[in-house]
Structure 1
């Protein structure tokens, strides 16, 4: 298991510089470049979390009533052998047994077990409890929620004596979502501070975050000084949504939150993606097909609602929110090209690339959408 470090108009603006009507210039020329820059920053890659899949299999058994120590054998009829990415502790109380081989078995350096999972857990080596993250339980009342990401220290000699076999007791009885992949990583690491490890990867994202905030300030000030306020207001909202989604992504490397909070984080990211998609639809339809603004928003919202009803994976939902928004916005930009509107071709190219990247690699598009590495 690996820890992988798993977003131009037909009219004219009013006085924006105090010069009155003589300062007016075509709106599309004034706004096209910053909008495309905003979309580019949304697109830039960065380090994120990704679900890694182990080469070996994991033995999984349900925890029986009053069973306080790991079973001696994992060959009971109710046990099974699964790849780790298919193990689901949500609403369950499980024993997991796996083999973990250090890269340098004779080293005396620090050795820890990284557990990145939506679950509480206990670590057993040789049948003895050696570490705990929260308290696993058979139900929500008996469980104490552990942290989403934790490193438990390991004794190398004890691990060797157990032939590098460990057993985890896990449960996930709290939360709001049923995730497709609740276990993100279980692996040996050489540092005890998982938050510092993660945060190092997220630090470069401060630059695009600053760009989003500057864009929000710029478009917000333009909105206050312009006669036509809708387009700059939408651009301000898009910049703020991008910044908020970035902050939600980075929060995993900054805050050592309990695993139920992970659901709220994912819902926040999904909400930002959906709002950003609708914002794109509103902006491009306002610019190139203003009479169709309301129908376009209603249709886009219905398409997003359908996706939410038919799709379970949060990454897929988030990617589809952005894809739907970009496709509706692309349709509006194509209407602008058909009518010969200035700037429409640039939007068509940018939105087509945006949608294509989403289709080709939805997971990568979401993971790397906001950050800059």
Structure 2
């Protein structure tokens, strides 16, 4: 995408990129004079740039799309450029096939420049040309560039982005640390989406909005496509494909955000369709008539987000919830950031703001899930408590017996005498009222089905009749196992696991 909508902003933006680039610290970049270049119609031979057919204009306004042109520019170099020992290269970022001359000598070709598309060979969007030692001179240097762009899918307002001298390195290194920062944001978005997908597989999956997962997925795809230029030097026709994909993702994200907010704010079907139709129509019109894909991409998200501000504010006016106020504040910050940086918002700032916005939405839903889990635990404790009460009623109404077998002998004991049980290998120790003990041949799991509902497993090795619990106390002696202890009517105490303590308290209270 083009760097800025205005000539001076382009130069400033390029300078800022150089300042943040770790590679630019070793040697500065020397740019051509972007403000005044001579542009002549194309041909196979370098033209006379003083000819009447040539014009003086800005480098960024020169347009090789659908034709062939020649550009003559001035490159001013200081003495220190000749003193450096590092190899140098001339960098050209343009949506065109190209051929570059420096001080009358051919530096190289990128693709094959041609007067027609049939014979043109597409060059790379961002390329470099090695500059031999001794070719440069202090002061003014003459740069001549031959360009053609017959294989373009779109017609951009500014297909030329950069022409500069710098240290010989990969052309993608010009973008400095920004691709790495975008990659970090991409990882955050991906992990957030993965977290939501995992939650969708949980018992609370019905409470996870699928719309939020889709929004994160769209943002991940858009950022991945945006990053391509920072990692790969692709052929210039693919630049148009990349721009279209970014714009489609931006519009999809914007419309998806509006739909998500309409559903979240519980609009009726008629109101949803009305707001959505108005928002999509206005967005489509502004995107279609706006110049430059940078501005189109920004508006594709900002207009639906602005409509979303109205939706959330209406919901807050009706319901006065803190959640709606938080959403409105987050959306307002997002829209203000976009409005204050229309031409450059589509870059790293856009994805940072999108990540923060989605983070707010995700955080609210996670808080709601936490509240639901707390409520579910409270409901479970209430159910357990009710079951214990019912079991107590059944226990007083009927008498139950437990059959114990020892070899050929069988003993029947009243389960009302059993106070607590402890697993002991293949047996279970039954501790009876009055201090007696018996052995049950089996596991705790098989035994609990034969005991009244007042018995609860409070530890992996213990069953207790809750009717005989006198008090609960936390274990302050770290040398002893057990998070807490139940003190029983016979004077014994039984450990309680931390996981089950809440249920035990709820059943007893």
TM-score for the superposition, normalised by structure 2: 0.60
Instruction: Map Cα deviations across residues 22-41 of structure 1 (whole Å, 9 max, x no partner).
Output: xxxxxxxxxxxxxxxxxxxx
Q: Does 1:316 align with 2:328?
A: no
Q: In the alignment, is the contact (CA less than 8 A) between 2:41 and 2:53 conserved in 1?
A: yes
After superposition, residues 232-247 of structure 1 pair within 5 angstroms as 232-247=209-224
Q: Does 1:257 align with 2:238?
A: no
Cα drift, residue 279 of structure 1: 1.2
- Please give the secondary structure, in 1, of the residue aligned with 2:107: strand
More strand by share: 2
Of stretches 198-207 and 164-173 in structure 1, the one that deviates more from structure 2 is 198-207
Q: Does 1:351 align with 2:368?
A: no
Instruction: Map Cα deviations across residues 341-367 of structure 1 (whole Å, 9 max, x no partner).
Output: 421111111111111111111122112
Aligned to 1:91: 66
Q: Does 1:148 align with 2:125?
A: yes
Q: Does 1:364 align with 2:344?
A: yes
RMSD: 2.6
- Please give the secondary structure, in 2, of the residue aligned with 1:91: coil
- Please give the secondary structure, in 1, of the residue aligned with 2:350: coil
Cα distance change on mapping 1:100 and 1:339 into 2, 3 Å: same
Q: In the alignment, is the contact (CA less than 8 A) between 1:288 and 1:341 conserved in 2?
A: no
Of stretches 155-164 and 76-85 in structure 1, the one that deviates more from structure 2 is 155-164
Q: Does 1:307 align with 2:286?
A: yes
Cα distance change on mapping 1:163 and 1:207 into 2, 3 Å: closer
Of stretches 158-167 and 131-140 in structure 1, the one that deviates more from structure 2 is 158-167
CA distance, structure 2, for counterparts of residue 241 and residue 158 of structure 1: 49
Aligned to 1:5: 17
Cα drift, residue 198 of structure 1: 3.2
Cα distance change on mapping 1:191 and 1:325 into 2, 3 Å: same
Q: In the alignment, is the contact (CA less than 8 A) between 2:33 and 2:75 conserved in 1?
A: no
Cα distance change on mapping 1:56 and 1:155 into 2, 3 Å: farther
- Please give the secondary structure, in 2, of the residue aligned with 1:89: coil
Aligned to 1:32: none
Cα distance change on mapping 1:174 and 1:230 into 2, 3 Å: farther
Of stretches 357-366 and 165-174 in structure 1, the one that deviates more from structure 2 is 357-366
Q: Does 1:334 align with 2:346?
A: no
Aligned to 2:249: 272
Aligned to 1:298: 277
CA distance, structure 2, for counterparts of residue 162 and residue 70 of structure 1: 23
Q: Does 1:288 align with 2:265?
A: yes
Q: In the alignment, is the contact (CA less than 8 A) between 1:3 and 1:185 conserved in 2?
A: no
CA distance, structure 1, for counterparts of residue 296 and residue 207 of structure 2: 28
After superposition, residues 1-373 of structure 1 pair within 5 angstroms as 2=14, 5=17, 54=33, 56-64=35-43, 68-71=44-47, 73-103=48-78, 104-107=80-83, 108-160=85-137, 164-198=141-175, 200-225=177-202, 232-291=209-268, 292-342=271-321, 343-367=323-347, 368-370=349-351
Q: In the alignment, is the contact (CA less than 8 A) between 1:116 and 1:186 conserved in 2?
A: yes
CA distance, structure 2, for counterparts of residue 231 and residue 284 of structure 1: 14
Cα distance change on mapping 1:206 and 1:248 into 2, 3 Å: same
CA distance, structure 1, for counterparts of residue 150 and residue 206 of structure 2: 48
Instruction: Map Cα deviations across residues 130-157 of structure 1 (whole Å, 9 max, x no partner).
Output: 2111111112111111101111111242
Q: In the alignment, is the contact (CA less than 8 A) between 1:118 and 1:148 conserved in 2?
A: yes
> Rg bigger for which structure?
2
Cα drift, residue 320 of structure 1: 0.7
CA distance, structure 2, for counterparts of residue 230 and residue 313 of structure 1: 41
Q: In the alignment, is the contact (CA less than 8 A) between 2:294 and 2:344 conserved in 1?
A: no
CA distance, structure 1, for counterparts of residue 33 and residue 298 of structure 2: 25
